Amino acid sequence: TEEKSLHFIEQIVEENLANGFPQDNLRFRFPPEPNGYLHIGHAKSICLQFGLGLRYNAPVNLRFDDTNPAKEEQEYVDAIKEDLQWLGFQWAEERYASDYFQQLYDWAVLMIKKGKAYIDSQSSEEMAIQKGTPTQPGVDGPYRDRSIDENLALFEGMKNGDFPEGSHVLRAKIDMKSTNMLMRDPLMYRILHRHHHRTGDDWKIYPMYDFAHGESDYIEQVSHSICTLEFVMHKELYNWFLDQIYDDNKVRPHQYEFARLNLNYTVMSKRKLLQLVQENIVNGWDDPRMPTISGLRRRGYTANSIRKFCENIGVAKRENVIDFSLLEFCLREDLNKNAPRVMAVLDPVKVVITNYPLDKEESLDAENNQEDESAGFRKVPFARELYIEREDFLEVAPAKFFRLSIGNEVRLKNAYIIKGESVVKDADGNITEIHVTYDTDSLSGSGSDASKRKVAGTLHWVSIAHAVPVEVRVYDRLFIDEAPDSHKEKNFLDFMNTNSLKIVTGYVEPSLKTVAVDDKFQFQRLGYFNVDKDSTADKLVFNKTVGLKDAWEE
């Protein structure tokens, strides 16, 4: 197999190794905040981090960045683990930033003692004003030179719950005139009288992300801390916090940034996805229209196709927008190889084969997957009355209409050649039956001369007497705009596609009676479909996963 060229982070690791960095010290982490479900953007980060782990035989921790109890829940922790495993990755250790609350507190105390942190008791508005702007330096606030003893006493009081939320914060004492706004005495701790999903009511103060993240990397001895580009400006602060605690004998983590994944026709911020869920615009985080891993899974995406997609888009330092169709391309490639072919009719019209005996019934051989010889054959019942798709018939065929019409022949897949003879209409002129005759000698695979006759097209069908009615959910894009969250004057919710879900009754061949949830099929000429979790023994429910690239290929 041909080796792809190394992406820039692999090149950095290779360089580190060449310069003597011990391979045994390589360690990575995937650090989700459990404030929502994972989405396809996370998959890019996951494939990157775990890909490095596999390539260099190095551990990759799953670290929950759970420092904000206001937004985090156990449900999200569980979902994240399930999605990661489904994607096919196994973490070395399951860690939580909240496991480090005591250590982080102790380090904060140490920093106060060294004069590197202080308690500020102003309102956030006052602090914001003193912070200045990108072009204007900040100014020192009135509490910046509080005594170490007073700082220690206040910090302990904060920890013990002596003060209301918002009354004090702990700030790093760096430089209010720094050109990097993030270095102007950033917050390290705030008071939150909140219940935490793991530490309960133990803590009344919670560390800020910038403080907790780098120190957590250090605790876990992560060598390469990989994050997305919006953290470029945070690196200086990341390093400053490490400087305060770093011990020469340990591995010092380094931060590297790559471009996040942007996909068109969707949104990926967890805050926005949460809004879709909370406002019942979709049916939960795993709604098949969602760009979440669980939504894609329920829609019928395979883990393999998502990994392949991440491999194809690569890892770079410049942001761009990837076309959703690339994800669908990777999916089709996988399903084309692996999904058995079956016949289903979603918009039925009745066909009567007038020269086929009334009580006759045949059991015909149908190939399960021409892309996979080992998939074998199945039996499909054939009889006098069938359903075909309504759009596969026109009384009078225009030029290049390769389907059924009066006086013209088509082949029924795996069966016979039929010829349109006449139609039956209701009072409104709608066609209720199509009467056809069949060429008795033309059975597919029989080897007869008639079986080899070339006709204009091949149609899928189901025998009415044997067909199983099923619910089919057909999806369209969730948004009508390519970049729904990029508009200054409008909200992303202004671009919802109000027709993104259509529910129809379809008729499937009886071999599908025994399917299980998430079984995947190609409904011939229609697309790929999988069995939804809402299916019951009495009523099967299918999701349309994705259409066929070329519905007329066969």
We find the least distance from the C-beta atom of residue 171 to ligand ATP, in angstroms, to be 23
Count residues contacting ligand ATP (CB under 6 A)? 15
Nearer CB in complex with Mg ion: 143/231: 231
Residue 117 is labelled as binding a ligand? no
228 is a site residue for ligand ATP (CB under 6 A): yes
Does 34 carry a binding-site annotation? yes
268 is in an annotated binding site: yes
CA distance 487 to 268: 15
* Binding residue for ligand ATP, selected from 26, 32, 159, 286, defined by CB under 6 A: 32
Told to check if 274 binds ligand ATP by CB under 6 A, we report: no
Interaction mask 48-87, ligand ATP, x per CB under 6 A: -----------------x----------------------
Please tell me the distance from the alpha carbon of residue 141 to that of residue 122, in angstroms, as a whole number: 9
Question: Which tokens belong to 105?
Answer: 């507190």
Residue 33 bears catalytic tag? yes
Nearer to ligand ATP, 68 or 530 (CB): 68
Dihedral over alpha carbons 95, 99, 100, 103 (to 10 degrees): -140
Region of 356 on the Ramachandran plot (φ > 0 left; ψ -120 to 50 alpha; else beta): beta
Q: Return the closest-CA partner of residue 526 out of 511, 506, 502.
A: 506
The entry of ligand ATP, Mg ion, none that residue 260 binds, CB within 5 to 8 Å by partner kind: ligand ATP
Is 318 designated active site? no
Region from 29-37, 304-312, 345-353, 404-412 binding ligand ATP, contact rule CB under 6 A: 29-37
Contact between 269 and ligand ATP per CB under 6 A: yes
Exactly one of 10, 33, 421, 519 binds ligand ATP (CB under 6 A); which one?
33
473 is catalytic: no
The answer to whether the annotation marks 438 as part of a ligand binding site is: no
191 assigned binding-site residue: no
Q: Any binding-site annotation on 61? A: no
Q: Would you count residue 264 as binding ligand ATP (CB under 6 A)?
A: no
Residue 439 Cβ, how far from ligand ATP at the closest point, in Å? 56
Strands 262-263 and 321-322: parallel
**Residue 161, CB-side half-sphere exposure with 13 Å CA sphere:** 7
**Phi first, then psi: what are they for 286, rounded to 5°?**
-100, 20
Chain CA centroid to CA 81, Å = 14
Tokens of residue 65, six digits: 């960045």
Helix ranges restricted to H, 323-399: 324-338
**Core vs surface per residue 506-533: b (16+ CB within 10 A) or e:** bbbbebbeebeeebbbbbbbbbbbbbbe
Residue 294, token pair as written in the block? 């669980």
Q: Which is nearer to ligand ATP, 48 or 119 (CB)?
A: 48
Query: What is the nearest approach in angstroms of ligand ATP to the Cβ of residue 301?
Result: 17
In contact, 108 and 117? CB cutoff 8 Å: yes
Which segments of 88-230 does DSSP mark as H helices, in order?
A: 101-113, 124-130, 148-160, 209-220
Site for Mg ion in 487-526 (CB under 5 A): none
Cα distance from N-terminal residue to C-terminal residue, the chain: 31
Name the catalytic one among 116, 144, 198, 260.
260
Instruction: Please say which residue, 255 or 305, places its beta carbon nearer to ligand ATP.
Output: 255
- How far apart (Å, rounded) are the C-alpha atoms in residues 407 and 123? 84
Q: Say whether residue 519 binds ligand ATP (CB under 6 A).
A: no
**How does DSSP assign 87-107, residue by residue?**
HT---S-EEEGGGGHHHHHHH
**DSSP code string of 51-86:** HHHHHTT--EEEEE----TTT--HHHHHHHHHHHHH
Q: Which does 32 bind (CB under 5 to 8 A by kind): ligand ATP, Mg ion, none?
A: ligand ATP
Q: Does 261 bind ligand ATP (CB under 6 A)?
A: yes
**Residue 275 sits in the site that holds ligand ATP (CB under 6 A):** no
**CA distance readout (Å), 401 to 76, 409, 410, 429, 552:** 52, 11, 11, 22, 12
In the complex, minimum distance from the CB of residue 261 to ligand ATP, in angstroms, rounded to a whole number: 4
Write the DSSP assignment of 247-284 as a string of letters: -TTSPPPEEEEEPPPEETTS---HHHHHHHHHTTSSSS
Nearer to ligand ATP, 228 or 304 (CB): 228
Q: Which of residues 19-78 bind Mg ion (CB under 5 A)?
A: 33
Q: How far is the CB of 97 from ligand ATP (least distance, A)?
A: 11
Q: How far is 71 from 82, CA to CA, in rounded Å?
A: 20
| CB distance 88 to 53 below 8 Å | no
CB of 262 to ligand ATP, least distance (A): 7
Q: What residue number has its CB nearest to Mg ion?
A: 33
**Which among 158-166, 182-190, 265-273, 459-467 is the span making contact with ligand ATP, rule CB under 6 A?**
265-273
* Catalytic site residue from 29, 173, 270, 298: 270
Of the residues 10, 33, 367, 471, which is catalytic?
33
- We find the least distance from the C-beta atom of residue 290 to ligand ATP, in angstroms, to be 12
51 binds, among ligand ATP, Mg ion, none (CB under 5 to 8 A by kind): none
Rounded distance, CA 65 to CA 202, Å? 17
Which residues are part of a known binding site for ATP?
33-35, 39-45, 228, 260-261, 268-270
User: Which residues sit at the interface with ligand ATP, rule CB under 6 A?
Assistant: 31-33, 41-42, 44-45, 65, 227-228, 260-261, 268-270
Which residues are part of a known binding site?
33-35, 39-45, 65, 209, 228, 260-261, 268-270
User: Which residues sit at the interface with Mg ion, rule CB under 5 A?
Assistant: 33
Active site residues: 33, 260, 270
